[in-house]
Chain A
Amino acid sequence: QQQVKQSPQSLIVQKGGISIINCAYENTAFDYFPWYQQFPGKGPALLIAIRPDVSEKKEGRFTISFNKSAKQFSLHIMDSQPGDSATYFCAASYSFASGGSYIPTFGRGTSLIVHP
Protein backbone atom coordinates (compact mmCIF):
# COMPACT_ATOMS: atom_id res chain seq x y z
CA GLN A 1 0.00 0.00 0.00
CA GLN A 2 1.57 3.20 -1.18
CA GLN A 3 0.60 5.91 1.27
CA VAL A 4 2.50 8.71 -0.48
CA LYS A 5 2.31 8.84 -4.25
CA GLN A 6 4.87 10.99 -6.05
CA SER A 7 4.94 12.15 -9.66
CA PRO A 8 6.54 12.42 -12.10
CA GLN A 9 9.20 9.74 -11.79
CA SER A 10 11.55 11.82 -13.91
CA LEU A 11 11.61 15.43 -15.02
CA ILE A 12 13.76 17.36 -17.47
CA VAL A 13 13.75 21.14 -17.30
CA GLN A 14 15.73 23.84 -19.02
CA LYS A 15 17.85 26.22 -16.99
CA GLY A 16 15.72 29.05 -15.68
CA GLY A 17 12.50 27.08 -15.90
CA ILE A 18 10.15 25.97 -13.15
CA SER A 19 10.34 22.41 -11.82
CA ILE A 20 7.19 21.02 -10.24
CA ILE A 21 6.95 17.74 -8.36
CA ASN A 22 3.67 16.53 -6.92
CA CYS A 23 2.76 14.25 -4.05
CA ALA A 24 -0.53 12.91 -2.75
CA TYR A 25 -1.16 11.21 0.54
CA GLU A 26 -3.92 9.10 2.02
CA ASN A 27 -3.51 9.17 5.79
CA THR A 28 -5.21 12.25 7.23
CA ALA A 29 -3.20 11.84 10.45
CA PHE A 30 -0.04 12.99 8.66
CA ASP A 31 1.02 16.33 10.10
CA TYR A 32 4.47 16.97 8.70
CA PHE A 33 5.49 16.99 5.05
CA PRO A 34 9.20 17.25 4.27
CA TRP A 35 11.06 17.15 1.00
CA TYR A 36 14.48 15.54 0.78
CA GLN A 37 17.11 16.20 -1.89
CA GLN A 38 19.63 13.55 -2.91
CA PHE A 39 22.67 14.17 -5.08
CA PRO A 40 24.41 11.24 -6.81
CA GLY A 41 26.62 9.31 -4.41
CA LYS A 42 25.12 11.02 -1.37
CA GLY A 43 22.42 10.31 1.12
CA PRO A 44 19.16 12.29 1.06
CA ALA A 45 19.11 15.52 3.03
CA LEU A 46 16.21 17.60 4.27
CA LEU A 47 15.47 20.44 1.85
CA ILE A 48 12.27 22.06 3.08
CA ALA A 49 9.22 21.02 5.08
CA ILE A 50 5.69 22.20 5.81
CA ARG A 51 2.98 21.60 8.38
CA PRO A 52 -0.70 21.46 7.38
CA ASP A 53 -1.61 24.70 9.16
CA VAL A 54 -0.13 26.73 6.29
CA SER A 55 -0.76 26.51 2.56
CA GLU A 56 2.66 27.57 1.35
CA LYS A 57 6.24 27.76 2.54
CA LYS A 58 9.05 29.39 0.63
CA GLU A 59 12.79 29.13 1.13
CA GLY A 60 14.77 30.85 -1.57
CA ARG A 61 13.89 29.31 -4.92
CA PHE A 62 12.12 26.36 -3.29
CA THR A 63 8.41 26.52 -2.41
CA ILE A 64 6.07 23.91 -0.98
CA SER A 65 2.40 24.32 -1.81
CA PHE A 66 -0.01 22.38 0.40
CA ASN A 67 -3.68 21.56 -0.25
CA LYS A 68 -5.12 19.87 2.82
CA SER A 69 -8.57 19.23 1.39
CA ALA A 70 -7.13 17.52 -1.67
CA LYS A 71 -4.44 15.76 0.40
CA GLN A 72 -1.79 16.96 -2.00
CA PHE A 73 1.44 18.89 -1.73
CA SER A 74 3.99 19.95 -4.28
CA LEU A 75 7.53 21.26 -4.58
CA HIS A 76 8.20 24.15 -6.93
CA ILE A 77 11.75 25.03 -7.90
CA MET A 78 11.86 28.47 -9.46
CA ASP A 79 14.65 29.51 -11.83
CA SER A 80 15.91 25.91 -11.93
CA GLN A 81 19.68 25.54 -12.16
CA PRO A 82 21.89 22.66 -13.30
CA GLY A 83 23.04 22.36 -9.69
CA ASP A 84 19.48 21.45 -8.74
CA SER A 85 19.82 18.21 -10.71
CA ALA A 86 19.14 15.54 -8.11
CA THR A 87 16.55 13.07 -6.89
CA TYR A 88 13.79 14.57 -4.80
CA PHE A 89 11.70 12.63 -2.30
CA CYS A 90 8.52 13.83 -0.68
CA ALA A 91 7.56 12.32 2.66
CA ALA A 92 4.87 12.45 5.30
CA SER A 93 4.87 11.61 8.97
CA TYR A 94 2.83 12.04 12.11
CA SER A 95 3.48 12.39 15.78
CA PHE A 96 2.81 10.19 18.75
CA ALA A 97 -0.09 12.46 19.66
CA SER A 98 -1.83 11.26 16.51
CA GLY A 99 -0.85 7.65 16.98
CA GLY A 100 2.27 7.81 14.86
CA SER A 101 5.98 7.50 15.51
CA TYR A 102 7.42 10.39 13.50
CA ILE A 103 8.91 7.89 11.05
CA PRO A 104 8.39 9.29 7.54
CA THR A 105 6.69 7.48 4.71
CA PHE A 106 8.57 8.37 1.53
CA GLY A 107 7.36 8.83 -2.02
CA ARG A 108 9.19 6.91 -4.71
CA GLY A 109 11.31 9.84 -5.81
CA THR A 110 11.66 12.12 -8.82
CA SER A 111 14.86 12.35 -10.81
CA LEU A 112 15.28 15.97 -11.90
CA ILE A 113 17.67 16.96 -14.66
CA VAL A 114 18.17 20.65 -15.39
CA HIS A 115 19.81 21.26 -18.75
CA PRO A 116 22.17 24.24 -19.08
Chain B
Amino acid sequence: DADVTQTPRNRITKTGKRIMLECSQTKGHDRMYWYRQDPGLGLRLIYYSFDVKDINKGEISDGYSVSRQAQAKFSLSLESAIPNQTALYFCATSDYTSGAYKGTQYFGPGTRLTVL
Protein backbone atom coordinates (compact mmCIF):
# COMPACT_ATOMS: atom_id res chain seq x y z
CA ASP B 1 0.00 0.00 0.00
CA ALA B 2 1.66 3.20 -1.18
CA ASP B 3 0.04 5.13 1.69
CA VAL B 4 2.34 3.34 4.14
CA THR B 5 6.01 3.57 3.30
CA GLN B 6 8.98 1.90 4.93
CA THR B 7 12.68 2.70 4.68
CA PRO B 8 14.98 1.05 3.99
CA ARG B 9 13.45 -1.78 1.97
CA ASN B 10 16.49 -3.96 2.42
CA ARG B 11 19.28 -3.79 4.98
CA ILE B 12 22.26 -5.94 5.79
CA THR B 13 24.03 -5.20 9.04
CA LYS B 14 26.45 -6.83 11.45
CA THR B 15 25.92 -8.21 14.92
CA GLY B 16 26.05 -5.51 17.56
CA LYS B 17 25.16 -2.63 15.27
CA ARG B 18 22.31 -0.24 16.01
CA ILE B 19 19.74 0.01 13.28
CA MET B 20 16.58 2.00 12.78
CA LEU B 21 13.68 1.12 10.51
CA GLU B 22 11.34 3.94 9.61
CA CYS B 23 7.68 4.03 8.75
CA SER B 24 5.61 6.90 7.41
CA GLN B 25 1.93 7.00 6.52
CA THR B 26 -0.29 9.43 4.68
CA LYS B 27 -3.55 7.65 5.56
CA GLY B 28 -4.17 9.90 8.55
CA HIS B 29 -4.60 6.90 10.81
CA ASP B 30 -3.99 7.24 14.51
CA ARG B 31 -2.79 3.73 15.22
CA MET B 32 0.50 2.28 14.07
CA TYR B 33 2.14 -1.12 14.53
CA TRP B 34 5.38 -2.98 13.95
CA TYR B 35 5.28 -6.67 13.04
CA ARG B 36 7.92 -9.24 12.35
CA GLN B 37 7.39 -12.03 9.81
CA ASP B 38 9.37 -15.26 9.92
CA PRO B 39 8.71 -18.34 7.76
CA GLY B 40 6.31 -20.66 9.52
CA LEU B 41 5.73 -18.24 12.38
CA GLY B 42 3.44 -15.77 10.70
CA LEU B 43 3.11 -12.15 11.78
CA ARG B 44 4.10 -11.34 15.33
CA LEU B 45 3.43 -7.98 16.95
CA ILE B 46 6.50 -6.15 18.28
CA TYR B 47 5.13 -2.77 19.41
CA TYR B 48 2.04 -0.69 18.79
CA SER B 49 1.00 2.89 19.33
CA PHE B 50 -2.55 4.19 19.57
CA ASP B 51 -1.43 7.83 19.43
CA VAL B 52 1.74 9.89 19.74
CA LYS B 53 1.80 9.65 23.54
CA ASP B 54 0.87 5.98 23.71
CA ILE B 55 3.40 3.17 23.18
CA ASN B 56 2.72 -0.46 24.03
CA LYS B 57 4.72 -3.65 23.94
CA GLY B 58 3.54 -6.47 21.77
CA GLU B 59 4.20 -10.18 21.82
CA ILE B 60 7.94 -10.00 21.11
CA SER B 61 9.31 -6.62 22.20
CA ASP B 62 12.59 -7.79 23.77
CA GLY B 63 15.57 -6.39 21.87
CA TYR B 64 13.50 -3.69 20.17
CA SER B 65 12.45 -0.14 20.94
CA VAL B 66 10.19 2.31 19.14
CA SER B 67 9.58 6.01 18.77
CA ARG B 68 6.40 7.72 17.62
CA GLN B 69 7.75 11.02 16.34
CA ALA B 70 4.44 12.24 14.96
CA GLN B 71 1.06 10.85 14.07
CA ALA B 72 2.46 9.87 10.69
CA LYS B 73 5.83 8.45 11.76
CA PHE B 74 6.70 5.38 13.78
CA SER B 75 10.24 4.02 13.90
CA LEU B 76 11.60 0.72 15.15
CA SER B 77 15.12 0.42 16.56
CA LEU B 78 17.34 -2.55 17.21
CA GLU B 79 19.84 -1.27 19.76
CA SER B 80 22.30 -4.11 19.27
CA ALA B 81 21.31 -6.34 16.39
CA ILE B 82 21.71 -10.09 16.63
CA PRO B 83 21.39 -12.76 13.90
CA ASN B 84 18.04 -14.11 15.15
CA GLN B 85 16.56 -10.68 14.40
CA THR B 86 16.99 -11.47 10.73
CA ALA B 87 13.43 -11.25 9.41
CA LEU B 88 10.93 -9.33 7.33
CA TYR B 89 9.57 -6.32 9.23
CA PHE B 90 6.24 -4.69 8.50
CA CYS B 91 4.74 -1.45 9.64
CA ALA B 92 0.96 -1.22 9.67
CA THR B 93 -1.72 1.32 10.47
CA SER B 94 -5.35 1.13 11.46
CA ASP B 95 -8.09 3.71 11.67
CA TYR B 96 -10.12 3.87 14.86
CA THR B 97 -12.30 6.73 13.80
CA SER B 98 -13.78 5.71 10.46
CA GLY B 99 -16.84 3.62 9.75
CA ALA B 100 -14.71 0.73 8.57
CA TYR B 101 -13.89 -2.04 11.00
CA LYS B 102 -11.50 -0.54 13.46
CA GLY B 103 -9.10 -3.46 13.48
CA THR B 104 -8.34 -3.60 9.75
CA GLN B 105 -4.59 -3.39 9.29
CA TYR B 106 -2.99 -1.54 6.37
CA PHE B 107 0.53 -2.82 5.84
CA GLY B 108 3.59 -1.19 4.33
CA PRO B 109 5.76 -3.03 1.79
CA GLY B 110 8.17 -4.37 4.40
CA THR B 111 11.87 -4.16 5.23
CA ARG B 112 14.02 -7.23 4.76
CA LEU B 113 16.68 -7.14 7.49
CA THR B 114 19.68 -9.45 7.57
CA VAL B 115 21.96 -9.49 10.60
CA LEU B 116 25.29 -11.18 9.95
Residues of B within 8 A of A42 (CB): 109-110
A44 adjacent to B103 (CB under 8 Å): no
Which one, A6, A104, A107, contacts B103 given CB within 8 A?
Answer: A104
Contact with A along B81-116 (1 / 0, CB 8 A): 000000000101010100001111111111000000
Task: Kindly state whether residue B43 has any CB partner on chain A within 8 Å.
Answer: yes
Residues of B within 8 A of A6 (CB): 42
B41 adjacent to A108 (CB under 8 Å): yes
CA distance A36 to B94 in the complex (A): 14
Contact with A along B51-84 (1 / 0, CB 8 A): 0000000000000000000000000000000000
Task: Kindly state whether residue A45 has any CB partner on chain B within 8 Å.
Answer: yes
Which one, A32, A102, A107, contacts B42 given CB within 8 A?
Answer: A107
Task: Kindly state whether residue B45 has any CB partner on chain A within 8 Å.
Answer: yes
B90 adjacent to A109 (CB under 8 Å): no
Number of B residues, CB within 8 Å of A: 24
The residue in chain A whose Cβ has the minimal distance to the Cβ of B42 is A108
Residues of B within 8 A of A32 (CB): 101, 103
B101 adjacent to A104 (CB under 8 Å): no
Which one, B43, B44, B105, B108, contacts A46 given CB within 8 A?
Answer: B105
B90 adjacent to A43 (CB under 8 Å): yes
Which one, B1, B40, B103, B108, contacts A103 given CB within 8 A?
Answer: B103
Task: Kindly state whether residue B4 has any CB partner on chain A within 8 Å.
Answer: yes
Residues of B within 8 A of A95 (CB): 102-103
Task: Kindly state whether residue A60 has any CB partner on chain B within 8 Å.
Answer: no
Residues of B within 8 A of A9 (CB): 40
Q: A43-B1, A45-B1, A49-B101 are in contact. Are A106 and B42 (CB under 8 A)?
A: yes
Top 7 closest A-B pairs, CB basis? A43-B107, A102-B103, A108-B42, A93-B103, A106-B43, A102-B102, A109-B42
Residues of B within 8 A of A44 (CB): 43, 90, 105, 107
